[in-house]
Each structure stands twice: as structure tokens, then as C-alpha cells.
């Protein structure tokens, strides 16, 4: 029975799941970064990533190679993220969190509208980052693109980790998230740390978008809406305050959904999302703070 099982297919589907999950992980990390510093889920994170992807498309359209556009877009998105925080979030820095959440909702519409205004709604394509040829690893065929996506996602996560653990700025970012008032007493310009966080988040979102778009073939302004959903789900699964959780949660979710799609028939594409959400809800009921989240023990 075990020998008849198609291990090849399992391996292939798992890699695909990791590839997709990796793009979700990047957006999830962006969400966690902003959640830890600003205290809300940025509902516009996906749209900002979509906007970045359109910028990348425009750059490629003007003659740049994919990778040139890739890095330039990251830089532009970084600056853009900082700008968004300074203009839109800073005025409500001291307001209740729900107010800030509504601002991000407004930002969602604003960025979505801007993208439709600047670039019309027709579909476009972004060239693939990696070739779409299959590659043979230990006798099993994998797509280079999937492996490449995984590599980029992992690379970004590692870079971020290095930033936070070993640099002064990273330390200041962490301190500002943990205790903003105390950080100010230490001389840290917490307000600018917030802006920096938004810049980093925007950059990560841009990478997520630029990896997602080629994989889909063609894309339009709706590109990142589903990704946002899964990124939120992955981040919640892993525990909202935890960057590791966001990554692990999203990867797990990616693999899980891909495998479910392959092996379970009665869950058609329509029910995939609700099913995934139901599973996450179940996990939350058992571990209310997610897999890696910290719970203040409350048994009231």
C-alpha cells in the first residue's frame, strides 16, 4: 500500500505549496511587522504590493530586465512605504486602534483606485523571474520557478532576521515595538522607527507581488487580494506577534491548501478558502494565540 503511494507527486505538490506559501509568508511578515509596531493589521498591504508590482511592470515595459526592475521596485516601495506612514498614519498615531484600522481600509480603496486610474484594468504579464523549465532533483521533476521562489522568500526572511538581530537599527525597531515610551527615553526616535517599519513592510510586499504575478501568468489590480487573505490567515495561524510564526504559518498553510486541493476532491476551488479558514479557526480554539504566539495566561 505504501509503495503504491505516489511519493513523487507528494514531493512535487509540497514544493509547489512551499513556493506559494513563501509568497504568502513575505506578505504575512509585512503584516506582522506593521502589527507589532503600529498595532493594527494593515488592510492595504496587499494593494500596496499590487501597486509595486505594477511599478515593476512599467519598468520592464520601459526596457529594464526583470531583476533590474525587481531591485529598483523594492527601493521605490521602501520609500513609498515610509511616505505612506508619514502622510497617512502619523496623524492618527495616538488615535484608538480601530480608527487606524479604518484608515488602512481607506488606504485600501485609495491605492486600489490609484492603480486602476494610472494603469487601466486590462490584464498584463510580468516576465518570469526564473525559467519555467523543469529541473531534475533526485529523479523528481520540479519547476525552477518554484524552487527559485522558495529561495527568494527564504533569502528575504533571512536578511530581515539578520537586520533585526545584529544591527543597531534592528534593535531600535524591536525596542520601539516592545515599549515605545521607554524607547523614547532611550533617545530612539520611535516615530521614525514606525515609518521605517512601514518601508520595510512595503518592500517585502513588493517582493511578494513580483513573485506572485509571473506565477499566475497574467495579472490585474485584483492580484494581491487573495494573497492578503492567505497572508492574514498564515500570520494568525502562526501567531500574530511572531515573525517566525508568520513565516511558518504561511508555509504550512501553503502546503496544506495545495495538498488538500490535490488529494481531497469534494472541496472544490470555491470552498478552499472557507475550509482553510475553518481549519485555522479550529487551531485558534485550541491555541488561542496561534502556534507561536505568546499568550498572557488568562483563565478568567
Partner 1 sequence: MAELLTLTDVEARYGQVKALHGVSLTVGEGEIVAVLGANGAGKTTTLRAISGLVKRSGEIVFAGKRISRRSPEAVARLGVAHVPEGRGTLSELSVRENLRLGAYTRRGRKAIGEDERRVLAHFPQLADRRDQEAGTLSGGEQQMLALARALMLRPRLVLLDEPSLGLAPIVVDEVFRIVRELNEREGLTVLVVEQNANIALSASSRAYVLEVGKVAFEGPSGDLRKHESVRRSYLGY
Partner 2 sequence: MRRALGIALWVLAVAAGIAFFLVLPRFVSDFHSRELAQAGVFFIAIVGLNLLTGYTGQISLGHGALMAIGGYTTAILVTHEHWRDVWTIPVAGLTAGAVGFLVGIPALRLSGLYLAVATFGLAVAMPSILKKFSGLTGGSEGLVFVEKAPKQITGLGGSVTIFGHSMTQNHFLYYLTWTIGLIGLTIAWLIVRGRIGRVFRAVRDSEIAAVSSGVNLAKIKTLSFALSGVYAGIAGSLLAIQTQIVNPLSFTFLLSILILVGAVVGGLGSLVGLVVGAFFVQYLPDVSTHISERPGVPDFVYGAAIIIVMILLPSGVGGFLRRLARPLTTWLYTRP
Beta-carbon count within 10 A of 45 CB: 31
Q: Return the residues of window 33-72 that contact partner 2 according to CB under 8 A.
A: 35, 41
Contact pick of 88, 184, 220, 244 for partner 1 (by CB under 8 A): 184
* CA 233/CA 281 separation, integer angstroms: 9
95 binds partner 1, rule: CB under 8 A? no
Contact pick of 18, 60, 111, 152 for partner 2 (by CB under 8 A): 111
Residue closer to partner 2 (CB basis): 102 or 140: 102
92 binds partner 2, rule: CB under 8 A? yes
271 binds partner 2, rule: CB under 8 A? yes
Q: Return the residues of window 238-257 that contact partner 2 according to CB under 8 A.
A: 240
Residue 287 CB, nearest distance to partner 1 (Å)? 20
Q: Return the residues of window 198-237 that contact partner 2 according to CB under 8 A.
A: 229, 232-233, 236
285 binds, among partner 1, partner 2, none (CB under 5 to 8 A by kind): partner 2
* CA 170/CA 189 separation, integer angstroms: 13
175 binds, among partner 2, partner 1, none (CB under 5 to 8 A by kind): partner 1
154 binds partner 2, rule: CB under 8 A? no
86 binds partner 1, rule: CB under 8 A? no
185 binds, among partner 2, partner 1, none (CB under 5 to 8 A by kind): partner 1
172 binds, among partner 2, partner 1, none (CB under 5 to 8 A by kind): partner 1
| Count of residues interacting with partner 1 (CB under 8 A) | 17
Binding region for partner 2 (CB under 8 A): 35, 41, 88, 91-92, 95-96, 98-99, 102-103, 105-118, 120-121, 229, 232-233, 236, 240, 270-271, 273-274, 277-278, 280-281, 284-285, 288-290, 298, 300
Amino acid at each position: 500500500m505504501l509503495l503504491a503511494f505516489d511519493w513523487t507527486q507528494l514531493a512535487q505538490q509540497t514544493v509547489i505549496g512551499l513556493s506559494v506559501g513563501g509568497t504568502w509568508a513575505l506578505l504575512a511578515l509585512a503584516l506582522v511587522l506593521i502589527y507589532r509596531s503600529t498595532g493594527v493589521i494593515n488592510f492595504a498591504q496587499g494593494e500596496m504590493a499590487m501597486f509595486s508590482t505594477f511599478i515593476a511592470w512599467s519598468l520592464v515595459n520601459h526596457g529594464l530586465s526583470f531583476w533590474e526592475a525587481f531591485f529598483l521596485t523594492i527601493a521605490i516601495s521602501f520609500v513609498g512605504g515610509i511616505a505612506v506612514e508619514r502622510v497617512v498614519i502619523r496623524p492618527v498615531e495616538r488615535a484608538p486602534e480601530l480608527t487606524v484600522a479604518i484608515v488602512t481600509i481607506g488606504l485600501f480603496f485609495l491605492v486600489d483606485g490609484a492603480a486602476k486610474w494610472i494603469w487601466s484594468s486590462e490584464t498584463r504579464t510580468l516576465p518570469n523571474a526564473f525559467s519555467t523549465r523543469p529541473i531534475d532533483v533526485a529523479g523528481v521533476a520540479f519547476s525552477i520557478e518554484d524552487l527559485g521562489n522558495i529561495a527568494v522568500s527564504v533569502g528575504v526572511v533571512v536578511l530581515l532576521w539578520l537586520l533585526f538581530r545584529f544591527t543597531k537599527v534592528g534593535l531600535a525597531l524591536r525596542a520601539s515595538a516592545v515599549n515605545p515610551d521607554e524607547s523614547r527615553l532611550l533617545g530612539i526616535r520611535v516615530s521614525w522607527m514606525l515609518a521605517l517599519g512601514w518601508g520595510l513592510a512595503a518592500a517585502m510586499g513588493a517582493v511578494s507581488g513580483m513573485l506572485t504575478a509571473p506565477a499566475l501568468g497574467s495579472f490585474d489590480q485584483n492580484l494581491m487580494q487573495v494573497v492578503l487573505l492567505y497572508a492574514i490567515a498564515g500570520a494568525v495561524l502562526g501567531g500574530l506577534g511572531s515573525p517566525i510564526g508568520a513565516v511558518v504559518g504561511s508555509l504550512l498553510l501553503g502546503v496544506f491548501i495545495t495538498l488538500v486541493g490535490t488529494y481531497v476532491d469534494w472541496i472544490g476551488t470555491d470552498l478552499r478558502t472557507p475550509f482553510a479558514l475553518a481549519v485555522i479557526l479550529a487551531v485558534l480554539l485550541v491555541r488561542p494565540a496561534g502556534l507561536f504566539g505568546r499568550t498572557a495566561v488568562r483563565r478568567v
